[in-house]
Structure 1
Amino acid sequence: MTTPETAERRTVSGGESRRTPSGAPPRRRRIRTEAVSGYLFVAPAVILFSVMGLYTIGYGFALSFAHWNGFTPTWKWVGLDNYADLLWRDPVYAPPVQAAALNTLWVMIFVPLLTVAVSFPLAVLLNQVRRLQGVLRSIYFVPYVTSGIAVYFAWRYILQPEGAINFLLGTLGLGSLQEPQGWLGNPDTALATLIVVIVWGNVPVAMLLYLTGLQSINPSVLEAAQLDGAGWWRTNVSVIWPLLMPLTGINVLLNLRESLHGFQTFLVMTNGGPAQHTNVLGLEAYRLAFLENLNPTLGLASALGWMLFVVAIVLALINLRVLRSRV
């Protein structure tokens, strides 16, 4: 005999799921509860990102169209004047930005190029080492994990007129190559020296990426190349290098981003000197925001930052397009 209680909880023949008095399957209700719990767990992170991320991005973008020194309660809206002043119109701000853009261009060309040129051969050689590979890998990675500020000050000491570089050159009888003003004090060598320092710090990550790619190559591919008569050089140039082209694109993109936005090395080691020969766009944006004759021009700094952001996006799209065309 069927009672009202059993009618509410009856199971339909054929395996239909049991229903609650409200008519919803327990499994569906459980999934709904788990979804609500998941949303509650991620809500703090979403709120934090909305406040610290989206809000600050929008705030900075709006600031790029205004004049503001960070102290007055109101902004002065100027539209695109900040961008025009930085690019060509203002005789005070435009020349330093143009000079910094040229220095940044040299850094963007030579840092990725030298990083790839040094890290790929190192990865190939390290991949052929059978003993102490982990120890050597750790040694090569030391420059990356060492505190940046400490490394920069160590480099400054090495590159001084009485530093280790000039001392070593004098000991080897190459005194004509010494720099009496120091390698960072000579306008002809300062930027090139900083590029070498940046490459020295970027090589470890690039080398590890290449090493990971080398260890993932199918050995049968290399054996086939050797059976076809390819030597060590031919195998690396015609087989391994094309296979690692996506990693090269990643390394180039990472170094381009660092070259475009990074300024810590230039700030600590030279502060843009001598005579602004090592001033870059990232450092110029920092100066406009915080060091502009005790009267910060945050609107100009924000405009310069957004121009750097647009350039970074364009470079990333070009890099992605090139990688897709080679796959």
Structure 2
Amino acid sequence: MAVDTIVKGPSPTRRAPLRGRKRYRRSEVAWGAAFVAPAVVLFAVMGAYTVGYGFSLSFATWNGFTPNWRWVGLQNYADLLWNDPTYAPRVHTAARNTMWVMIAVPVLTVAVSFPLAVLLNSVRRLKTFLRSVYFLPQVTSGIAVYFAWMYVLQPDGAINLLLRSVGLGSLQQPQGFLGNPSTALPTLIVITVWSSVPVSMMLYLAGLQAVDPTLVEAARVDGAGTWHVTRHIIWPLLRPITAIIVLLALRDSLQGFQTFLIMTNGGPGNHTNVLGLETYKLAFLSQLDPTLGLSSALGWMLFVAALVLAAVNLRAMRRLT
């Protein structure tokens, strides 16, 4: 008795629609790549040109007007770090101020934004309104806010007036909080923290809403109070978010200089000069001096420092997770 062997496989009627779908997807990808390609090519060419140009400039001297550069090798880096008696002390002072900002801003940002997020997460009424109020500094024009702060911090500004009215006249600053060398940098640190708290608070708030409520309920059943729940359960779960907030604060502290430029321009007496501001001054405020190479070299040193901080933070985040 013969046994017929039947080989099962995809029928031509099934295979044709699959081929049609693949062709349609390839056509979609091709059209999408065609529309995106000009922008990608332009961005790549301009980005590669700008990066290469800036890196080459860090090994030369140029004032931005003469047609030719003068190649000096690593001399710019040596002048900034120790060799030049004019620029090296300024860079050292700016580095010291930047270090204080890099330490104070992340710590204060976390110390303010985390309790604020916990408080907002526990509020039952007017929660949306309070979130909008606390997030307002982030959506307000930066320059307008900085000028408002300058007006408040003047010798006859609102803060000195408030200190006098509450009997704390000994704390007022006759020179203004930005004119006194001992208070200028701490004041700018406070303003920087004030502007960075809204985003950090929102990140913490998103993390708090993602915490499993059963963990908190189990801890409360075991007799844990609010402080112990926050310290031993919520805070460890939000460590990755804290690492992100610290990295953002370090990046802004290392490379950001808008607040310092607008409010003090590094004064009084370079007491608020930071590395980002010094880079800007070398590039645009040295008139006809050939300092564009110095500015580029300092910018690349800041870039390397930012990469190192990002690598350290990434390794810390891997350990936390």
TM range (shorter): over 0.9
> Which one-letter code corresponds to 1:254 in the other structure?
L
**What secondary structure is seen at the aligned counterpart in 2 of 1:188?**
helix
Match of 1:183 in 2: 177
Deviation at 1:294, TM superposition (A): 3.8
Q: Residue 14 of structure 1: CA displacement?
A: 4.7
Q: Output the CA distance in 2 between the equivalents of 1:76 and 1:89.
A: 18
Q: CA deviation at 1:58?
A: 1.4
Conservation of the 8 A alpha-carbon contact between 2:243 and 2:313: yes
- Residue in 2 aligned with 1:234? 228
CA contact (8 A) 1:67 1:75 kept: yes
Please state how far the C-alpha of 1:296 moved relative to its aligned partner: 5.0
What residue number does 1:15 align with? 11
Which residue pairs with 2:5 in the alignment? none
Give the Cα separation in 1 of the matches to 2:234 and 2:20.
Answer: 56
Structure 1 residue 114 displacement after superposition: 0.2
Structure 1 vs Structure 2: percent identity of aligned residues?
A: 68
Maintained 8 Å contact 2:134/2:198: yes
CA distance in structure 1 between the aligned counterparts of 2:62 and 2:290, rounded to whole angstroms? 8
Instruction: State TM-score, norm by structure 2.
Output: 0.93
Q: Report Cα offsets for 1:232-259 as digits up to 9, x if no partner.
A: 0011011100000011001000010000
- Equivalent-residue separation in structure 2 for 1:130 and 1:163 (angstroms): 37
Question: What CA distance in whole angstroms lies between the structure 1 residues aligned with 2:273 and 2:54?
Answer: 23
Would you say the 8 A contact 2:61–2:290 is kept in 1? no
* 1:122 match: 116
Equivalent pairs counted in the alignment come to 313
The two structures have a TM-score, normalised by structure 1, of 0.92
Residue number among 262, 267, 274 corresponding to 2:268 in the alignment: 274
1:18-29, aligned counterparts within 5 Å?
Answer: 26-29=20-23
* 1:199 maps onto 2:193 in alignment: yes
Letter in 2 for 1:208: M
Secondary structure at 2:223 match in 1: coil
The separation in 2 between residues aligned to 1:152 and 1:300, in whole angstroms, is 29
How far does residue 29 in structure 1 lie from its aligned partner after superposition?
Answer: 4.1
**CA-to-partner distance for each residue in 1:93-115, whole Å, 9 max, x for gaps?**
11100100000000000001000
Query: Match of 1:134?
Result: 128
Per the TM alignment, residue 75 of structure 1 is displaced from its structure 2 partner at its CA by: 1.3
Q: Structure 2: how far apart are the matches of 1:19 and 1:202?
A: 57
Query: Residues 175-196 of structure 1: CA distance to partner in whole angstroms, max 9, x if unpaired?
Result: 1111111100000010000000
State the alpha-carbon separation in 2 of the partners of residues 212 and 35 from structure 1. 35
Secondary structure at the counterpart of residue 41 of structure 2: helix
Contact 1:289 1:296 in 2 (8 A): no
Counterpart position of 2:88: 94
Q: Residues of 1 paired with 2:57 and 2:287: CA distance?
A: 20
**Which residue of 2 is the match for residue 284 of structure 1?**
278
- The answer as to 2:45 corresponding to 1:40 is no
Amino acid aligned to 2:164 = G
Whether the aligned pair in 2 keeps the contact of 1:127 and 1:211 (CA below 8 Å) is yes
Counterpart among 295, 318, 324 of residue 318 in structure 2: 324
2:159 match: 165
Decide which of 208, 231, 238 is 1:244's aligned counterpart.
238
- When the two chains are superposed, the root-mean-square deviation of aligned CA atoms in Å is 1.9
Q: Secondary structure at the match of 1:239?
A: helix
Q: CA contact under 8 A between 1:290 and 1:296: conserved in structure 2? A: no
Of stretches 29-38 and 138-147 in structure 1, the one that deviates more from structure 2 is 29-38
Unaligned runs of 5+ in 1: 1-12
Match of 1:213 among 191, 204, 207: 207
Residue of structure 2 aligned with 1:309, choices 289, 296, 303: 303
Counterpart Cα distance in 1 of 2:15 and 2:91? 70
Counting only pairs closer than 5 Å after superposition, residues 52-71 of structure 1 correspond to structure 2 as 52-71=46-65
Matched position secondary structure for 2:175: coil
Q: Shift of the alpha carbon at 1:68?
A: 1.2
From 18, 37, 44, the equivalent of 1:50 is: 44
Tell me if structure 1 keeps the 8 A contact 2:154–2:177.
yes
* 1:119-152 C-alpha deviation (Å, 9 max, x unpaired): 0000000000011100000000111111111111
CA displacement at 1:89 relative to structure 2: 0.7
CA positional deviation for 1:264: 0.5
- Say if 2:102 and 2:253, in contact at 8 Å, map to a contact too: yes
2:80·2:87 contact (CA, 8 Å) conserved in 1?
yes
